[in-house]
């Protein structure tokens, strides 16, 4: 929360993180507002407010015997693990089970492997190891490759701030307009930069699929007839074209929310949105999702819309000669 | 607003941008809530909703004759400037003056120089040129070096998302604790990374100054006696020390907000906070503020606090051997 833009910014970002695949949040307000599961541990200050780490763990275990994930790195991580085990053993005599430990600094690969050994040897094979500390997808991948024994990944700063891409370069432009009852007029915003020329039309996005796998996303005009299949054009290089057969499975991605001033859409429950997002991600080939040199997923404009766009751009540019 | 974390995130970031030096915002809600001056122009969609750009400018001028900054790059920027001039001349016949034009794409150096010539030659030497388009401090500096004739810089995405440093790596740790009436116990959080070891004590930050210029910021313990001056230590290299003479002018930067559970601070008005921030920035030598290889401003820990910190770290580490 302290990295986000105020608490409401944190709420919006927490919701997005949950929809994108996270399973829980340490943002208690987001739990209350959206029903996202709330998980977390005590802070270093809890340990430091006692004279001894062991004393701090014990006090925590007495207060919350069913919610014990001990943060073990305040002084010395592996000594902290041993003290957590000691309190875990005491908890068992009280009929409770320690959930696990949390590592928040140091060499997470080495420390998690050593902590796993200590926990296993002490009879806690089910105790979970939570890791945090400026994690991102690359560090997590590297830790996995190193054989780190981490069960739960706590990601904060790099996720909530969209650290490696803090802004998505989208814009909205007028694409079509009409007076009530009149025909649509299609509009285009030209620019000296090809990437910044807008698309005209009443747009829809069709995602084509084969055997459950997404094969291409095509922007087309709702008034176009795609019954005979479609040809997709790369707007930055019109010689790159892809023909999609008529019988290809598809899904139209845009859903109308307002029609003629009336709301025609009900927002699904958050669990449903999350499930939909996860299913959608599964439809992309793993090559598209890898971090290094990912395969470029085919995205383009339907050919007749591309032609109309070209014509409108030429008109707009000629009109000022 | 569309780049921030929800509208409340945008509010928080807009307030911060204003305090940091911006003079106005296009976020109307921030204007209402904080009293920040609101400025902006029409959108490209305003132009595109008409058949002709000239028609769009005229309709805008009729609706808001005292608020005309024409966005001229929907079709062809310099042709747009000529049309803005035409409408500016019409406005004069109505007793109003066009404020200026806005460039939002293309070569802002070239276009602003050419637009300035057109405006000057047409008798609009006071018409302002506003520039936008993913600006940041480096682009602005480069445009200035190229002699761009830009009067107003509109910065959005790169500012509101803190694009080049989306998170400030600060943490908060327990530094001292006491039972009511008892002595303070000083606390330190050790870490394998020197940078992540916390500072103990009841901390205050003293900014030393000479002839109105800031010369160093020192973290010290409130209970320390600095009447005889102080020695500042670089915590990452204790051989780097700096002696500050007893009669050096200073300001303590931290203000208590709560004391014994009572609020003891009134938040100043936003204009006052902004003025204070601007004055404070002026106190830094320009070498500290340059973009390329800036001079490092001296920051450190007062020597007796550094010694105490070292002692507490050694104690914490010995206690686990």
For A58-94, how does the pLDDT look when each residue is reduced to its tens digit (9 = 90+)?
999 999 999 999 999 998 999 999 999 999 999 999 9
In this complex, the residue of A49, A106, A316 whose CB is nearest that of residue B177 is A49
Average pLDDT, chain A: 93
- Report the pLDDT value the prediction gives residue B320, as an integer from 0 to 100: 54
In this complex, the residue of B11, B74, B173 whose CB is nearest that of residue A189 is B74
* Partners of B205 in beta bridges: B219
Average pLDDT, chain B: 93
In this complex, the residue of A3, A107, A167 whose CB is nearest that of residue B161 is A167
> Given CB atoms, is B81 within the 8 Å cutoff of chain A?
no
Q: Single out the residue of A310, A305, A283, A313 nearest to residue A230, CA to CA.
A: A305
- Report the pLDDT value the prediction gives residue A197, as an integer from 0 to 100: 84
> Given CB atoms, is B157 within the 8 Å cutoff of chain A?
yes
| Mutation target among A17, A191, A200 for the B interface, most CBs of B within 10 A | A191
Q: Tokens standing for A267?
A: 């927002």
8 Å CB contact of B106 and A191 = yes
H helices of B38-136, where? 44-48, 53-63, 77-93, 108-121
> Given CB atoms, is A6 within the 8 Å cutoff of chain B?
yes
Residues 163..182 of A with a Cβ closer than 8 Å to B: which?
163, 166-168, 170, 173-174, 177
Dihedral sign, CA of B165, B166, B167, B168?
A: positive
Burial A188-200, CB ≥16 within 10 A → b, else e = bbbbeeeebbbbb
- Report the pLDDT value the prediction gives residue A171, as an integer from 0 to 100: 81
Instruction: Tell me the nearest-neighbour CA distance from B205 into chain A, angstroms.
Output: 22
Q: What is the DSSP string of B25-58?
A: BS-HHHHHHH-PPB-----HHHHHTSSSHHHHHH
For B53-88, how does the pLDDT look when each residue is reduced to its tens digit (9 = 90+)?
999 999 999 999 999 999 999 989 999 999 999 999
- Report the pLDDT value the prediction gives residue A319, as an integer from 0 to 100: 62
- CA dist., res. A56 & res. A50, Å (int): 6
- Report the pLDDT value the prediction gives residue A320, as an integer from 0 to 100: 54
> Given CB atoms, is A209 within the 8 Å cutoff of chain B?
no
Contacts of B166 in chain A (CB under 8 A): 161-163, 166
Mean pLDDT confidence for A186-208: 87
Which domains, and CATH codes, for chain A? 40-160 (3.20.20.70), 176-318 (3.20.140.10)
From residue B202, alpha-carbon distances to A111, B166, B183, B317 in Å are: 33, 30, 12, 22
8 Å CB contact of B173 and A44 = yes
Residue of A nearest to B313 (CA): A75
| Mutation target among B2, B9, B54 for the A interface, most CBs of A within 10 A | B9
Instruction: Please report the ipTM that was assigned to this predicted complex.
Output: 0.83
Mean pLDDT confidence for B274-293: 95
Q: Tokens standing for B54?
A: 């000239």
- Report the pLDDT value the prediction gives residue B58, as an integer from 0 to 100: 98
pLDDT higher than 70, residue B167: yes
For B190-226, how does the pLDDT look when each residue is reduced to its tens digit (9 = 90+)?
877 777 788 999 999 999 999 999 999 999 999 999 9
Dihedral sign, CA of B3, B8, B12, B18?
A: positive
């Amino acid at each position: 929360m302290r990295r986000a833009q105020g608490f409401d910014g944190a709420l919006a970002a927490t919701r997005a993180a949950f929809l994108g695949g996270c399973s829980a949040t340490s943002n208690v307000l987001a739990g209350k507002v959206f029903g996202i599961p709330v998980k977390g541990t005590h802070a270093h200050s809890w340990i430091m407010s006692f004279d001894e780490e062991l004393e701090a763990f014990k006090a925590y275990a007495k207060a919350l015997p069913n919610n014990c994930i001990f943060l073990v790195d305040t002084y010395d991580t592996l000594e902290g693990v041993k003290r957590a085990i000691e309190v875990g053993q005491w908890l068992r005599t009280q009929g409770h089970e320690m959930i696990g430990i949390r590592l928040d600094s140091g060499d997470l690969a080495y420390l998690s492997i050593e902590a796993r050994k200590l926990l296993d040897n002490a009879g806690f094979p089910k105790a979970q190891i939570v890791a945090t500390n400026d994690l991102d997808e690359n560090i997590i991948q590297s830790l996995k490759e190193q054989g780190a024994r981490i069960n739960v990944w706590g990601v904060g700063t790099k996720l909530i701030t969209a650290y490696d891409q803090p802004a998505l370069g989208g814009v909205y432009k007028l694409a079509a307009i009409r007076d009530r009852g009149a025909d649509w007029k299609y509009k285009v915003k030209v620019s000296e930069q090809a990437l910044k020329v807008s698309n005209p039309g009443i747009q829809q996005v069709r995602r084509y699929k084969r055997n459950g796998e997404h094969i291409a996303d095509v922007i087309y005009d709702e008034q176009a007839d795609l019954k005979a299949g479609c040809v997709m054009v790369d707007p930055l290089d019109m010689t790159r074209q892809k023909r999609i057969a008529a019988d290809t499975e598809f899904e139209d991605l845009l859903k109308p929310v307002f029609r003629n001033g009336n709301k025609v859409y009900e927002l699904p429950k958050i669990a449903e949105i999350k499930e939909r997002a996860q299913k959608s991600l599964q439809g992309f080939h793993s090559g598209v999702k890898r971090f290094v040199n990912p395969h470029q997923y085919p995205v383009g404009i339907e050919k007749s819309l591309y032609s109309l766009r070209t014509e409108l751009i030429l008109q707009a540019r000629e009109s000022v000669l």
